[in-house]
């Protein structure tokens, strides 16, 4: 797919710089005229704000593109690195051997002037902040149907979806019978500072050590250690980025983080938490206390 020109995109937007309430963000303008492969059709998406649940866009015209994440540059350096949602009206299909499209002469300044970045003195305006407005909550039985839609859309095979459903059911029943997988015993969870930066090589601690940092709801100072994170225990990863501030889903509030990083190759599929997973592929957040510096380089 090729991202359309600034002029073409401008003609699709309302006064707030949105199409059907989904913002076209300033960080997206740099991709105008560039080509990418579609990663997934967004059949459903997670929402990490209050009352977290699976949600779905109205209509069937939203996709993600391979490797395209928000830089946060126009939103005070937000480090959430969300997968960007693209309306099909902002894209055009091109063949592999097709030459560059003829583009209108436009440097994007008119487009950028239309795009909002704040909705109040202390709240930001972006795709994450507007997620509640642009999606609907999925009733329980609708989630089963969405699993079928995801397979038909080519997001995964039948066998992959069967595996996702099996993972979800396993953890759902285990949670009911035994409580949270990573249930700790701390009333007040501890803090550790490693001063990690992008490129540092770390090792994820064994599960026994991580349990000693969690409370009874598997959280360390409000950050949840999910069941799928256990698979990296004992493995080495490079730090992808420090996470000091992120914009919260639904509210637009900037939340400060401490002693938290993202690791290369560590993204959430929601398989253990939501039937069939989701297509958002959010970064997984790691407390530094769950990691140790690797002796190998």
At residue 290, what are phi and psi to the nearest 5 degrees?
Answer: -90, 0
In total, the chain counts a number of residues equal to: 297
Half-sphere exposure (CA, 13 Å, Cβ side) for 109?
A: 2
Q: Which helix (H) or strand (E) holds 18?
A: strand 18-19
Other CB atoms within 10 Å distance of the CB of residue 198: 12
Nearest to 250, CA basis, from 65, 68, 50, 53: 50
d(CA 128, CA 134): 10
Location of structure tokens 């105008």: 32
What is the predicted pLDDT for the residue at 48?
82
d(CA 150, CA 162): 12
- Residue 48: burial class (beta carbons within 10 Å; 0-12, 13-18, 19+): middle
Two tokens at 205? 């601690």
| Cβ-based neighbours of 178, under 8 Å, separated by 6 or more | none
Judged by DSSP in three states, 187 sits in: coil
The CA–CA distances, whole Å, from 191 to 2, 58, 201 equal: 45, 42, 20
Cβ atoms of residues 203 and 234 within 8 Å:
yes
In tens digits, the chain (297 residues) has pLDDT values of 999 999 999 999 999 999 999 999 999 999 999 999 999 999 999 888 766 678 999 989 999 999 999 999 999 999 999 999 999 999 999 987 666 655 554 568 899 999 999 999 999 999 999 999 999 999 888 999 999 999 999 999 999 999 999 999 999 999 999 999 999 999 999 999 999 999 999 999 999 999 999 999 999 999 999 999 999 999 999 999 999 999 999 999 999 999 999 999 999 988 998 999 999 999 999 999 999 998 765
Nearest to 44, CA basis, from 126, 170, 133, 149: 149
Judged by DSSP in three states, 165 sits in: helix
């Amino acid at each position: 797919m090729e991202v359309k020109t600034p002029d073409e995109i401008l003609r699709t937007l309302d006064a707030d710089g949105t199409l059907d309430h989904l913002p076209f963000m300033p960080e997206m303008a740099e991709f105008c005229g560039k080509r990418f492969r579609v990663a997934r059709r967004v059949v459903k998406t997670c929402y990490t704000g209050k009352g977290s649940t699976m949600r779905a866009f109205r209509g069937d015209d939203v996709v993600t593109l391979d490797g395209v994440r928000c830089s946060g540059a126009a939103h005070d350096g937000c480090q959430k690195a969300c997968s960007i949602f693209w309306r099909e009206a902002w894209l055009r299909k091109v063949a592999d051997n097709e030459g560059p499209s003829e583009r209108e002469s436009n440097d994007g300044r008119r487009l950028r002037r239309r795009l909002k970045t704040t909705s109040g003195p202390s709240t930001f305006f972006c795709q994450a902040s507007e997620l509640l407005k642009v999606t609907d909550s999925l009733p329980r039985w609708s989630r089963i149907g969405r699993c079928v839609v995801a397979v038909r859309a080519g997001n995964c095979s039948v066998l992959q979806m069967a595996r996702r459903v099996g993972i979800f059911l396993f953890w759902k029943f285990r949670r009911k019978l035994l409580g949270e997988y990573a249930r700790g015993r701390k009333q007040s969870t501890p803090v550790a500072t490693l001063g990690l930066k992008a490129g540092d090589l770390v090792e994820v601690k064994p599960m026994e050590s991580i349990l000693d940092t969690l409370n009874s709801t598997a959280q360390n100072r409000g950050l949840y250690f999910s069941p799928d994170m256990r698979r990296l225990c004992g493995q080495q990863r490079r730090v992808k980025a420090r996470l000091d501030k992120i914009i919260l889903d639904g509210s637009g509030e900037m939340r400060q983080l401490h002693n938290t990083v993202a690791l290369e190759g560590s993204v959430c599929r929601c398989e253990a938490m939501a039937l069939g997973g989701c297509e958002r592929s959010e970064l997984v957040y790691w407390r530094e206390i769950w990691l140790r510096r690797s002796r190998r380089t």
